[in-house]
């Protein structure tokens, strides 16, 4: 019997073909999200590193007003946007020390939360594909087994040649489901770990900047 992909596809039932097409769409969607997120993360990471180097020079003497006037607002990455939120709050904060520090802290906390949420955009697609693709493949497997038994009943024979088409159809949908799910799960775990690490970085950087602001008001 011919087990080439073209022959297996032509011998599949409509339901099995719909399963394979559905998983193909899911695979393309997960790959698009994966590569788009990697590009976004790499660009934001490099911009944040560049911003940190420039801002460190400005803040080396603890001069927060000079940092607020530095104008580092373009292509600054997630770190730059978070620190700039604090600088904006510092420029508009009242003269009261405690109120000003609290205002800066809240501004950076809100921006950091937005940055983390933006980083998570699209990860739900990977999680959905990774968790549902095996079950969709299993659905195709079940229908393939049903087709095999139907062929057996129709011919009145239980030989391997009779049921091989249905069995191969079942195995193909199972394999396809796993091939779609495994990369999606691996990508989701990797990207989620990156987001968690950046969340910690934002928290630490915000606290460090808040320490600089506190020392500024203590002068």
* Contact of 22 with 136, CB cutoff 8 Å: yes
What the block records as the tokens of 185 is 């799960």
| Per-residue DSSP letter, 62 | T
What the block records as the tokens of 196 is 């968690």
Query: What's the CA gap between 217 and 219, in Å, rounded?
Result: 5
Query: What's the CA gap between 57 and 134, in Å, rounded?
Result: 52
What residue spans define the domains of the chain? 5-218
User: Residues 15-52: pLDDT tens digits?
Assistant: 878 888 899 999 999 999 999 999 999 999 999 999 99
User: Residues 108-162: pLDDT tens digits?
Assistant: 999 999 999 999 999 999 999 999 999 998 888 887 777 767 766 666 655 555 5
> pTM (2 decimals)?
0.83
* Number of Cβ within a 10 Å radius of residue 84: 22
What the block records as the tokens of 122 is 């699209």
- Give 175's contacts (C-beta < 8 A, 6+ positions apart): 137
């Amino acid at each position: 019997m011919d087990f080439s992909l073209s022959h297996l596809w032509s011998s599949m039932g409509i339901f099995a073909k719909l399963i394979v097409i559905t998983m193909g769409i899911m695979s393309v969607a997960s790959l698009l999200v994966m590569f788009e997120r990697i590009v976004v993360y790499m660009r934001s990471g490099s911009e944040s590193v560049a911003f940190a180097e420039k801002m460190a020079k400005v803040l080396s003497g603890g001069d927060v007003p000079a940092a607020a006037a530095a104008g580092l607002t373009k292509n600054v990455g997630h770190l730059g946007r978070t620190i700039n939120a604090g600088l904006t709050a510092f420029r508009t904060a009242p003269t009261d020390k405690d109120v000003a520090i609290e205002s800066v802290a809240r501004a950076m906390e809100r921006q950091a939360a937005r940055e983390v949420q933006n980083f998570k955009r699209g990860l739900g697609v990977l999680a959905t594909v990774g968790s549902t693709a095996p079950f969709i493949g299993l659905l195709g497997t079940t229908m393939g087994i049903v087709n095999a038994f139907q062929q057996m009943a129709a011919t009145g024979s239980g030989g391997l040649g009779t049921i091989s088409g249905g069995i191969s159809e079942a195995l193909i949908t199972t394999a396809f489901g796993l091939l779609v799910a495994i990369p999606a799960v691996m990508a989701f775990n990797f990207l989620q770990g990156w987001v968690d690490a950046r969340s910690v970085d934002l928290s630490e950087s915000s606290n460090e900047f808040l320490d600089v602001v506190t020392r500024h008001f203590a002068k």
